Amino acid sequence: MSTHVLDETHVPSGRSLRHVLGDTGALTGRSLRHVLRSPDTIITTALTPIALMLLFVYVFGGAIDTGTDEPYLDYMLPGILLITIASGVAYTAYRLFLDLQGGIFERFHSMPITRSSVLWAHVLTSLTANLVSVALVVGVALLMGFRTGASVAGWLAVAGILVLFTLALTWIAVIAGLSATSVDGASAFSYPLILLPFVSSAFAPTDSMPAPVAWFAENQPVTSIVATLRALFAEGPVGTDTWISLAWLVGVLALAHAVALASYHRKTG
């Protein structure tokens, strides 16, 4: 490891913060330029959830009893948004793996930059790209007839939940990108994340499922997150599901962040 690398734990906090922000901003700009040069990444990420939304609403929606009076599109949109994000974070693991294999990290480490800025650049790029994909999906849902009475505060709360969800999954993607031994392996981790909303209340009530499946669906994080988003969109009361979803998101985010940093220091130390 080059001695020129700045370790933020050994410089004064004010100077460290300035270095971290400056380095992260510069490296994030680099990553975003790569995404802008190939916008098909964002388009591809949005296409599959949009296709699923069309399929469920216009083919399966009439056969699914949600037990509510709300249109099926309104019922299932939160789950589609989570699938959009789960699909998008796979590109983070893919890009991180390519940078690692291509020797980009070694070049960065020969310059006076803080270690954490390299990972945060990938994370912030993922956050930006996934929020654009989510906006595209919401735009199509509005064209299909999605309507919400959510206030500005409600929309901000929805955005906050989705940002937390994106950050939590992106740090898991960082772990996958650092640990993978092949390009396919780097992105394969996302498959279970994409399938998780299907075994939840995202598309059908859990009481219609066999008992073991229903127990899993009711106690996994996607169900509480989906319930929170539905309540915010409908301007309904947000009950214990909100606190459960926040506990899941913050817990997964903190754990994944710690494991990712430890893996990064082992990989590059």
| Residue pLDDT, tens place only, 44-72 | 778 889 999 999 999 887 778 887 788 89
How is residue 146 written in tokens? 């999605």
Helix (H, G, I), strand (E, B) or coil at 55: helix
Q: Could you report how far apart the first and last alpha carbons of the chain are, in Å?
A: 6
Give residue 257's pLDDT.
Answer: 93
262 versus 60: which is more confidently predicted?
Answer: 262
Average pLDDT over residues 161-173: 95
The pTM assigned to this predicted structure is: 0.86
Mean of pLDDT over the chain: 83
Beta bridge partners of 6: 114
Phi, psi values for residue 41, rounded to 5°: -60, -50
